[in-house]
Structure 1
Amino acid sequence: MTMQRYSIPAIVLHWLVAILIVAAFTLGLTMVDIPGLTPTKLKYFSWHKWLGVTVFALACLRLLWRKTNGAPPYPASMQPWQQTAAHGLHIFLYVLIFAVPLSGYFYSLAAGVPVTYLGIWPMPVLIAPNPDLKPILKLVHYTLNMIMLGAVSLHVLAALKHHFIDRDGVLKRMLP
C-alpha cells in the first residue's frame, strides 16, 4: 500500500512557514538581547516584523489550501487517540501561527511603532498607541512564542517518533 502524501503546495507552504517561524523566533531572541537602541537592533526589529507579516500572509494561504484540499488520512496502524492528539495539535499550531504574529503586530502598535512591510507598505493602524496595553501585549507575544516553541517541539518529536520508531510513513507525507 502506498502512503498518501500532502500536495506540493501544502508541502511548500508547510516548510516555508516553518523556516520563517524559526527565523523570526531566532531573530526575536537575538534582537531583545542587544543592549540599547542601536541601528542593528532597529534593523532586526524591522526584519522580525516583516517575517511576522509574511508568516501571517502565508498562514492565510496555507489555511485556505488546507480547507479546499484537505489532508491525507492517517495510517490505519495509528491508534485513534494518536489521531485525535495529532489533529488537536495541528489545530493548536494553526491558532498559534495566527496568534503570534497578531500579538506582535498589536504590541508594536500599542508601543506606537507602526509596521511598514519591507519598509514600503504601511500596514493598517488598528489601535492607537497605548502605554497601558503595551506591557500586556508584550507578555502575550512572548508567552505565545514560548507556547509555540513547546508545540512545535512536540510536533517535531511526534514526527520523528513516527519515522524512526513506528516506521509508518507519517513524516514522509510532508517531505519534499
Structure 2
Amino acid sequence: MRSMPTSHWTDQPNSPASSGAGWSAVARFLHWTIAVLILAQFVVGWMAVSWRLSPTKLDLFVWHKSTGMLVLALVVVRLAWRATHRAPALPSSMPHWERIAAHLTHGLLYVAMIAIPLTGWVVSSAAGVPFSIYWRIPLPSIAKTDQHLAEVVADVHGALGIALIVLLVMHVAAALRHHYIKHDDVLVRMLPWRRTSR
C-alpha cells in the first residue's frame, strides 16, 4: 500500500480515492476524546435513570452532568480549532449530493453535541438542584426554578439524545462505506494512530 501525504494543510487531491490530506493530531485527539465521552454518556445516563434511588444514583447523575459539561467545553474548543484550521479536502470522486449530505450531517452533529448538554444544564437549573462539576466546580443556574420547565426540557433532552444516536449511526456507516466500499481515505485519515507531518 503506497503512503499518502499527511500534511494537514494540503488541500489538493492526489487521486479519486485520496483526499491528499490528513487531520492534524489535535483534531484527531478532540474527535476521539469527544466520541469516547459521548459513548460513556449514553451508558452512564441510562444507568442514572434506571438505578434505584440511592447515593449511587445521585453520584451517577453527577458523573453524567459533569461529563456533559466537559463534552460541551471540548466541542467549543473543536469548533474554534475548525474555524482557524482548514479541513482536509474531500475525495474528488465524491458526488455533489454526498458532499452536501456530509456537511449537513456534521453540522447537525455539532448542533446536537451543543444542544444536549445545554438542555441538561437547563433541566438541572429549573429543577432547583445545586450542582458542582465533578463535585468541585459550582455550575451557575441558567433558568429559574420551574418544575414544569424542567420536565419539558428533560423530554427535549431525551429526544436530542435519540437524534444524536441516529446521527452517529449515520456518521459511522458513512465512514465504513468510504473505507470498505469506496476504498478512499476518509476514515483512515481520522484514525488516532495515523501520523501527520504537523
Smaller-chain TM-score bracket: over 0.9
Deviation at 1:59, TM superposition (A): 0.5
From 141, 146, 151, the counterpart of 2:162: 146
* Larger Cα-atom Rg: 2
Q: Could you tell me whether the CA contact under 8 Å between 1:109 and 1:129 is conserved in 2?
A: yes
From 169, 173, 176, the counterpart of 1:157: 173
Flag as ranges the 4+ runs of structure 1 deviating above 3 A: none
In the alignment, residue 181 of structure 2 is paired with which amino acid?
Answer: I
1:29 is aligned to 2:50: no
User: 1:5 corresponds to which residue?
Assistant: 22
Q: What fraction of aligned residue pairs are identical, expressed as a percent?
A: 42
In the alignment, residue 142 of structure 2 is paired with which amino acid?
Answer: L
- Aligned-residue Cα RMSD (Å) equals 1.0
Q: Unmatched 5+ residue regions in structure 1? A: none
1:18 is aligned to 2:35: yes
What do residues 124-145 of structure 1 show as CA deviations (whole Å, max 9, x unaligned)? 1121211110110110100000
Provide TM-score, normalisation by structure 2.
Answer: 0.86
Distance 2:129 2:181 in 1: 48
Instruction: State how 1:82-161 maps to structure 2 within 5 Å.
Output: 82-161=98-177
Q: Which has the higher contact order (CA 8 A, sep 6+)?
A: 2
From 162, 172, 176, the counterpart of 2:188: 172
In the alignment, residue 90 of structure 1 is paired with which amino acid?
Answer: H
What do residues 72-96 of structure 1 show as CA deviations (whole Å, max 9, x unaligned)? 1100011111111001100110011
Distance 1:109 1:143 in 2: 19
From 61, 64, 87, the counterpart of 1:48: 64
Deviation at 1:41, TM superposition (A): 0.6
Provide TM-score, normalisation by structure 1.
Answer: 0.96
Q: Specify which structure has the higher proportion of helix.
A: 1
Q: State the number of aligned residues.
A: 175
Secondary structure, aligned partner of 2:148: coil
Q: Unmatched 5+ residue regions in structure 2? A: 1-13, 193-198
